[in-house]
Amino acid sequence: MTNKINDSSVGIVKSKTVEIKQNLKLDCGKDLKNFSLVYETYGELNSEKNNAILICHALSGDHHAAGYYNIDDRKPGWWDSCIGPGKPFDTNKFFIVSLNNLGGCMGSTGPNTINSETGLEYGPDFPIVTVNDWVNSQKLLADYLNINKWACVIGGSLGGMQALQWTISYPDKIKNAIVIASAAKLSAQNIAFNEVARQAIITDPEFHDGRYNNYNVVPKRGLSIARMLGHITYLSDDSMRQKFGRDLREGKLHFGYDVDFQVESYLRYQAQAFVERFDANTYLLMTKALDYFDPAKEYDDDLSKAFQNTKSRYLVVSFTSDWRFSSSKSHEIVKSLVKARKNVSYSEIEVNHGHDAFLMPIPQYLEVLRNFMENV
């Protein structure tokens, strides 16, 4: 076994699949009949079944949050810095569940899976899903695992929206919530970024109205542009300047339209890697779920009213350099929770990593998480 799998790692992990044999009524008005959810677990569920934590992933995330599938894997799961023995989400203490949401492309029922009623791939016919739909499906997963109440539901970005929705939809089923680099609703600017990304995909000649798999092609150009656009918004100006500046890839200008600058090379590399692992229809679905999230809408646009019946203890975390989900959005959540007289702690971490900071092992950030989890 290689040195990279150390005592602080959950080690080698395996994904599991549960078949939910019941209808799920979706917010769009459609029913999803019999669906699968892929998930991973870390740690052990105690006899009282009161130490379970749910990890909710962001737009391009999945169920593989920690550990390795094989000792030769280049990287561990996407939140390995936080999950494991002695880490903030300590697997010596907690039973941690991480799933791939409905509509995902990593094994759970979604556009690239087969519709049991037609025998054909869902493709663009997969229904639009919302954060509320995800939480309802996660509740069914909790039932399957015999978890009556989550000790904590945790998520960053889109994952944080799911944590918020859990506290609203199932106040008696969640004890604590950690909401990181998130928002109670997207700004017009954020919706605009998502629309540009969707149009890049939809207008790609290889998209074929979402049925690209029927033609054995992938809308690579559109998905690449969408990823590059998104990645720019996940980084801060300071972090890009420090990482790339105006450094040239080969030390000279080529006076053409190919790559000259290191930052161009980086974006193209990230885009290519993303195209190889992610599905275009899923990307469209995920961005719509982001756009539609607005729990206050059903409460006269008063977020404090949405939180009125919640019973959770909250931790809200933001990052000073995150302009995609700015600290002001976290302030809105905190102020509404305070107005609703809820137990909330808030931490604003001063770093220059941008939105992606929630995925990074920043010492102050890890300490904030660890301190909160000591009382879970």
Residues acting as catalytic residues: 157, 322, 355
Q: Where are the strands (E) in the chain, listed by range?
A: 16-25, 31-42, 52-56, 83-84, 89-90, 95-100, 152-156, 176-180, 313-319, 343-349
**Class of residue 5 by CB neighbours under 10 A (exposed 0-12, middle 13-18, buried 19+):** middle
Query: What does the DSSP assignment read for 327-338?
Result: HHHHHHHHHHHH
- Of 36, 374, 16, whose CA–CA distance to 176 is shortest? 374
From CA 158, how far away is CA 166, in angstroms rounded?
13
Q: By the 8 A CB rule, do 293 and 134 touch? A: no
From CA 217, how far away is CA 106, in angstroms rounded?
19
Record the tokens describing residue 336, joined without a space: 């509404």
Q: In sequence order, what are the residues at sequence separation of 6 or more whose Cβ sits closer than 8 angstroms to the Cβ of residue 335? A: none
